[in-house]
Chains A and B, each alone.
Chain A
Amino acid sequence: MINLTVKIGGEAGFGIMTTGLFLGKIATRSGYHAFEYTEYPSLIRGSHNVVGVRISDEKTYSQEEKVDVLLCLNADTYKRHISEMKQGGMVVYDRDKTDINSIKDENRADLVYVHVPFAKILQEGAFPTVMLNNIAMGALMYLIGADFGILKNLISENFIKKGEEVINKNVNASQMGYDKARESDTEGYKVKIPKKESISSRMYLSGNEAVGLGTLAAGCKFYVAYPMTPASALLHYLAAKAEKSGMVVKHAEDEISVINMALGASWAGVRSMVGTSGGGFALMVESVSLAGITETPIVIAMVQRPGPATGMPTWTEQGDLLFIVHAGHGEFPKIVLSPGDVGEAYQLTTEAFNLADKYQTPVFILSDKYLQEGKQSIDRKEIEEYKFDINRGKLLTAEKLEVLPKGGYKRYLLTEDGISPRAIPGLPNSLQQANSYEHIEDGHTTEDAQERIKQVDKRNRKIRTYLSADFKMPQLFGPKDAELTIVSWGSMKGPVLQAMQDCGNKFNYLHFTHLWPLDKEKVSQVLKSLRKTLLVENNSTAQLGQLLQMVTGVELDNKLLKYSGRPVFPEEILARIKELGIG
Chain B
Amino acid sequence: MMETTNPNVFAGYFPTWCPGCGDFGIWASIKGALAKLGYSPEEMAVVFGIGCSGNMNDFLWVDSFHALHGRAVPNAVGIKIANHKLPVLAIAGDGDCYGEGGNHLIHACRGNHDITILVHDNRVYGLTTGQVAPTGLKGFKAKSTPQGVIEVPVNPVALAITQGATYVAQGFAGDINHLTDLIVEGVKHKGLSLVNVFQPCVTFNHVTTYAWYRERLYKLTVQNHDPKDMKKALDKSLELDAHIPIGLIYKSERPTYTDCLPQISKETLVDAGLGFTKDDSSAMLQKFVPEFL
Contact = CB atoms under 8 A, between A and B. Distances in A.
Contacts of A294: 65-66
A252 B79 contact: no
B70 to A, nearest CB: 8
Nearest to A202: B293
Interface string B70-84: 110011111111110
B211 interface: no
Interface stretch (B30-38, B170-178, B190-198, B267-275): B267-275
A219 to B, nearest CB: 3
A222 B276 CA distance: 13
Contacts of B83: 268-270, 425-426
B264 interface: yes
Given A216-B284, A268-B45, A290-B68, A260 B75 contact: yes
Interface of A: 29, 201-205, 209, 213, 216-222, 224, 241-248, 250, 252-254, 256-258, 260-272, 286-287, 290, 294, 380, 383-384, 388-390, 392, 397, 424-437, 444-445
Nearest to A250: B81
B281 A217 contact: yes
Interface of B: 12-13, 41-45, 47, 50, 55, 57-58, 61-68, 70-71, 74-83, 85-86, 103-104, 106-107, 261-264, 269-270, 272-274, 276-278, 280-281, 284-285, 287-289, 292-293
A444 B264 CA distance: 33
B103 A253 contact: yes
B289 A260 contact: no
A269 B82 contact: yes
B66 A434 contact: yes
A245 B71 contact: no
Contacts of B66: 294, 433-437, 445
A258 to B, nearest CB: 8
A62 to B, nearest CB: 20
Contacts of A270: 82-83, 269-270, 273
B31 to A, nearest CB: 15
Nearest to A386: B285
Contacts of B289: 203, 213, 380, 383-384
A444 B272 contact: no
B57 A435 contact: yes
A425 B45 contact: yes
A383 B288 CA distance: 11
Contacts, number: 206
A149 B63 CA distance: 60
Given A213-B285, A388-B281, 8 more contacts: A221-B270, A253-B107, A265-B79, A270-B270, A271-B273, A424-B270, A426-B42, A426-B63
A436 B65 CA distance: 8
A217 B78 CA distance: 21
Contacts of B270: 221, 268-270, 424
Contacts of B104: 253, 256-257, 260
Given A262-B78, A430-B42, A435-B57, A252 B65 contact: no
Contacts of B74: 252, 256-258, 260-261, 264
B273 A264 contact: no
Contact of B292 (A205, A253, A256): A205
Given A244-B287, A434-B66, A426 B86 contact: yes
Contact of B280 (A219, A384, A389): A219
B75 A261 contact: yes
Nearest to B49: A436
A204 B291 CA distance: 9
Nearest to A254: B103
A261 B82 CA distance: 10
Contact of B269 (A218, A243, A265): A265
Contacts of A428: 42
A201 B62 CA distance: 54
A367 B47 CA distance: 33
Closest 5 pairs (CB-CB, A-B): A264-B78, A219-B276, A260-B74, A261-B78, A268-B82
B274 A269 contact: yes
22 contacts: A201-B293, A204-B293, A213-B292, A216-B288, A217-B281, A219-B273, A256-B71, A260-B71, A264-B79, A269-B270, A270-B270, A287-B68, A287-B71, A390-B277, A390-B278, A424-B270, A425-B63, A425-B86, A426-B83, A428-B42, A431-B61, A445-B66
Nearest to A28: B293
A445 B277 CA distance: 37
B37 to A, nearest CB: 15
A243 B276 CA distance: 16
A312 to B, nearest CB: 27
Contacts of A260: 67-68, 71, 74-75, 78, 104
B276 A390 contact: yes
Contact of B107 (A257, A265, A286): A257
